[in-house]
Structure 1
């Protein structure tokens, strides 16, 4: 089950790299505006905030990738702790999103599902 958790963590990291790309690289493009439901004016006005937020997502992804590598080279305790910290933070961010704006429930579900499954699988695997 630990392996399943690590695969899910890797997928969560990839998703957060994609979110970084949308927020920090292509925020004002039609594609990002469709994903986030913003107008060109809103995207222009929030570009700096989105740029910053994108890097939070990237840093979470980096933590998760480093933790997977640590587990792979035999540092289970440290790697598992970092996986749980990284994906737990991703999950917490998804919960904050939906609690702050119910209209963002779909986005929160998309953002939080892989991290939630990671936490569940990893904890079950560590307890086994």
Structure 2
């Protein structure tokens, strides 16, 4: 089984006032990388947003057979809370990179990505940092 971190098109989502990264690009860890290192590397390469792997929180994995018509893939979801909103810049093989409010995502997302984002939105609710 090939292990990948996400699949489909690049997306960055912001949940309320607390920025959260959701990366849905396809990558495999390089030799010597664990999945967190791979997620941090790909996030930087494809959005220009640099987050150390130690600052990523692994939330969940999705690997049900048949979830991706291209074959057996496992998606490992990470989030990060950023100190400020950073402007993503498409790089590497990403066509675009931008913030998407969760309520305004396109109606058609690849495979089970709508479920993944809904799950993460429920796990990590928006909070107002000003109290």
Do they superpose with TM above 0.5? Answer: no
Structure having the higher helix fraction is: 1
Structure having the higher strand fraction is: 2
Q: TM-score, normalised on structure 2?
A: 0.26
| Higher gyration radius (CA) | 1
Higher RCO structure, 1 or 2 (CA under 8 Å, sep 6+): 1
Q: TM-score, normalised on structure 1?
A: 0.26
